[in-house]
Amino acid sequence: MVAKSALSSSPDRVVVEPVANMYSAPNEKSDVASQAIIGSNVVTREIRREWVRIRTDDEYSGWMERSALREFGTFGPYGSHGPTVRIEALFANVYQNPDIRAHKPLLTVPFGSLLELAPGGQGLRPRWLRARLPDQRRVWIHRGDANRDPVPLTIPQSIELAKRFLGVTYLWGGRSSYGYDCSGYTQMLVRSRGITMPRDTRLQAEWDGAEDVDRKRLIPGDLLFFGASRAEVNHTALYIGGGKMIHSSTQNRPGVQISRLDDRPIGRRLIACRRVR
């Protein structure tokens, strides 16, 4: 049991590890249901010893080790104390001082990570930004790895972004540039357009934020769903035009790849095409 005061209906913890697994049960032997990346504010749903059942901003729940989280306490939500940056590089090293030769990186954070800028130091090192990690450590990141003013991408821009991940490995439950599964990958691409889509393939196929379109009317940016039937969807991809799609798949070499829509056997299993509203 957990005390009622330990639960929350609004974010009350932040992820402090570069990528933290969310398990289907409170133990490492259960399957990885999803992941959350550093700087993500989450909601506590249940606590069992060293495990916390959390909910992410896309309404997805899972169990995470307590050591991967920090309670807000008096600090409040992470990212609410001033300017923030989003990591634009596939991976960005975080240093304890702005000299890459002096020490090894403290962390390597994935694409999309949110980091809070720390007061002072921004004008002292033109190539560097001073940041504060969710565990309150002050660090340095290279300006070229971060975007101080991210804006939603257009569909063509999101397709160009998608191609940057070609070759990134497939990872069941993956939601970061360390490895994506199929729905984690498409969710990230739709999110880059400023739209939050559900996490799982089945939920994406039923999501009211998209509408069905005929295969003959596909345009770049449409979502593709595969399976034995509409009730058994098990794979998703993004249509990029010219009869091609980009997806994180286990076919051939597992990872993000471009395939033709009429490739066998996957082309025969296309059961839904959807366009984000």
pLDDT tens per residue across span 187-218: 999 999 999 999 999 999 999 999 999 999 99
Average pLDDT on 94-105 reads: 93
pLDDT digits (tens, 9 = 90+) for 53-65: 999 999 999 999 9
Give the whole-number percent of the chain exceeding pLDDT 90: 87
- The reported pLDDT for the residue numbered 7 is 64
Residue 105, classified by CB atoms within 10 Å of its CB into exposed (0-12), middle (13-18) or buried (19+), is: middle
User: Which residues, 6+ apart, have CB-to-CB distance to 19 below 8 Å?
Assistant: 35, 36, 37, 38, 110, 175, 176, 178
Please check whether residue 25 is in contact with residue 100, taking contact to mean a CB–CB distance below 8 angstroms.
Answer: no
Between 27 and 268, where is the model more confident?
27
- The reported pLDDT for the residue numbered 8 is 66
Encoding tokens for residue 215? 């295969």
Q: Whole-angstrom Cα distance, residue 32 to residue 36? A: 11
pLDDT at position 34 over 80: yes
Q: Whole-angstrom Cα distance, residue 252 to residue 249? A: 8
- The reported pLDDT for the residue numbered 5 is 41
Give the whole-number percent of the chain exceeding pLDDT 70: 96
- How many Cα atoms sit within 13 Å of 252 on the Cβ side? 13
Q: Sign of dihedral through CA atoms 27, 28, 31, 33?
A: positive
For residues 195, 201, 202 and 208, what is the CA-based torsion angle, rounded to 10 degrees?
A: 10
CB count within 10 Å of CB 129 equals: 22
pLDDT at position 3 over 50: no
- The reported pLDDT for the residue numbered 6 is 54
Mean pLDDT for the chain overall: 94
Average pLDDT on 161-182 reads: 98
- The reported pLDDT for the residue numbered 74 is 84
Residue 272's closest CA among 221, 237, 220? 237
- The reported pLDDT for the residue numbered 123 is 60
Average pLDDT on 210-228 reads: 97
Is residue 264 very low, low, confident or very high in pLDDT (cuts 50, 70, 90)?
confident
Burial 147-171 (b: 16+ CB within 10 A, else e): eeebeebebeebbebbeebeebebb
Domains of the chain: 4-73 (2.30.30.40), 84-147 (2.30.30.40), 155-276 (3.90.1720.10)
Q: Whole-angstrom Cα distance, residue 209 to residue 196? A: 9
pLDDT at position 2 over 60: no
Is residue 126 very low, low, confident or very high in pLDDT (cuts 50, 70, 90)?
confident
